[in-house]
Amino acid sequence: MVFASSNDFETWMNTMPENFQKDIKRLKKVSEVLTKNPDPKVGHTPKEVIWTKNKAKLYRYQPAKVKTNKVPILMIYALINKPYILDLTPGNSLVEYLTNQGHDVYLLDWGTPGYEDRNMKLDDYVLDYIPRAVQKVLRKSGADEITLFGYCIGGTLTSIFAALHPDLPIRNIIFMTSPFDFSDAGLFTNWLDERYFNLDQMVDTLGNIPPETIDLGSKLLKPLVNYIGPYISLADRSDNEEFVKSWTLMQKWVGDGVPFPGEAYRQWIGEFYQKNKLIKDELYIRGQQVKLRNIKANILNIAAERDHIATPEQVKPLLDKVSSKDKTFKLMPTGHVSVVVGGTAVKKTYPTIDQWIKVHSN
């Protein structure tokens, strides 16, 4: 059907049943969101860069705000996606929440690797980057101890770092949806089986692993939910401006991935998913054996019950390996991402982390 003008379209619309009119308006709104809405702004919490190395930057948040908790928090993010998921938007930001509660918050942003970074290994991140970041945080804050916070792969890297540096003043460690035991990683175990998945050929061919490849693997865990679900939700709730705003922010982050440095990916898949070396004390980083029992800091280990990327069964076993006397496991009624953004995160995850840190920093 072709209309000569918008007035003709409106006239025709007025002759249609009310439910049909509502559906057309929703579809029009969806079209506007997908094609006309400007790119949303993220990472609003004020910050300053206090150190850089290669592509990485170390941020200190709300530097002008009075810090009532004297033990600084260093957030260590994953090697995929961008860390602004921790500071998505005002009112929905773990960083903003913690700084508003008086915490001195820092974040290690790995940046976006280029082809020249394809030979970067997990060893480099654990032994060259994280130690320097810890030193910078302690010096900048003037503190004697530090709290480490690792999300997803960032938590796994944090555990390796802490195990290799038992003499550093690490008072607390928070792990959030970080995998440690890869004996059963769900569908990933089948897909990445070394009998069928030619890891070396993939890395040797591509150099760095494209973010689209990583994103595809995660979405295929629940393809209908991950590929179609977001658009059904948008169509159903397109008249809710607050929902549309949140939806747009999340889709920006989901599509804003970064390459995975090739050699680090070779280790991540080969030594963790395929051989499960970390939990078995068989992992070596530059010749040093990683023994999780060397970790003695207070631990809060957070898992998400609907997490298909780092299942609770992969997260929880850490507590059986460490030597920490004070260790707590929390299972949140969320998924891998909704543990840190969304209504449940704001109401449950944020206060849980804040209260635990305050109790364990006195």
Sole residue written with tokens 């690792």: 150
Residues 6+ apart with CB under 8 A from 295: 159, 162, 163, 166, 173, 321, 322, 323, 324
Indicate the residue type of 24: I
The two structure tokens encoding residue 266: 């070779």
Q: In 3D, which of 221, 196, 260, 231 has the Cα closest to residue 26? A: 231
pLDDT score of 94:
98
Q: Strand pairing partners for 148?
A: 74, 173
CA distance 307 to 302: 11
The answer to whether residues 318 and 295 touch, using CB atoms and an 8 Å cutoff, is: no
CA distance 342 to 33: 20
Q: 3-state SS string over 75-128?
A: EECCCCCCHHHHHCECCECHHHHHHHCCEEEEEEECCCCCHHHCCCCHHHHHHH
Indicate the residue type of 97: Y
Tell me how many degrees the CA angle 40-44-46 measures, rounded to the nearest 5: 155
Q: In 3D, which of 53, 77, 264 has the Cα closest to residue 156? A: 77
pLDDT score of 110:
97
Q: Strand pairing partners for 209?
A: 260
Q: 3-state SS string over 63-83?
A: CCCCCCEEEEEEEECCCCCCH
pLDDT score of 8:
58
> DSSP per residue over 275-341, as a string?
T-TTTTT--EETTEE--GGG--SEEEEEEETT-SSS-HHHHTTHHHH---SSEEEEEESS-TTTTTS
Active site (annotated) includes residue 167: no
Query: Pick the catalytic residue: 87, 124, 152, 360?
Result: 152
CA distance 52 to 133: 9
Delimit the domains of the chain by residue range: 47-359
The answer to whether residues 126 and 285 touch, using CB atoms and an 8 Å cutoff, is: yes
Q: Largest Cα–Cα distance in the chain? A: 77
pLDDT score of 221:
85
Sole residue written with tokens 């957070």: 302
CA distance 173 to 145: 11
Decide if domain 47-359 falls under CATH 3.40.50.1820.
Answer: yes
The dihedral through the CA atoms of 124, 126, 131, 132 has a sign that is positive
Active site (annotated) includes residue 307: yes
Active site (annotated) includes residue 23: no
Residues 6+ apart with CB under 8 A from 66: 102
Q: What is the pLDDT along the chain (362 residues), one digit of tens a residue?
A: 555 555 655 665 566 666 655 666 666 666 676 776 777 899 999 999 999 999 999 999 999 899 999 999 999 999 988 999 999 999 999 999 999 999 999 999 999 999 999 999 999 999 999 999 999 999 999 999 999 999 999 999 999 999 999 999 999 999 999 999 999 999 999 999 999 999 999 999 999 999 999 988 888 888 878 878 888 888 888 888 888 888 888 888 988 999 999 999 999 999 999 999 999 999 999 999 999 999 999 999 999 999 999 999 999 999 999 999 999 999 999 999 999 999 999 999 999 999 999 999 98
pLDDT score of 26:
66
The answer to whether residues 208 and 112 touch, using CB atoms and an 8 Å cutoff, is: no
Q: In 3D, which of 135, 132, 180, 185 has the Cα closest to residue 153? A: 180
The two structure tokens encoding residue 219: 């979405």
pLDDT score of 328:
98
The dihedral through the CA atoms of 333, 338, 340, 341 has a sign that is negative
Q: How far is CA 289 from the centre of its chain?
A: 27
Sole residue written with tokens 């992992």: 283
Q: Strand pairing partners for 301?
A: 175, 329
CA distance 353 to 172: 11
* pTM of structure: 0.90
pLDDT score of 21:
55
The answer to whether residues 86 and 107 touch, using CB atoms and an 8 Å cutoff, is: yes
The two structure tokens encoding residue 280: 């078995």
Query: Pick the catalytic residue: 109, 336, 354, 360?
Result: 336
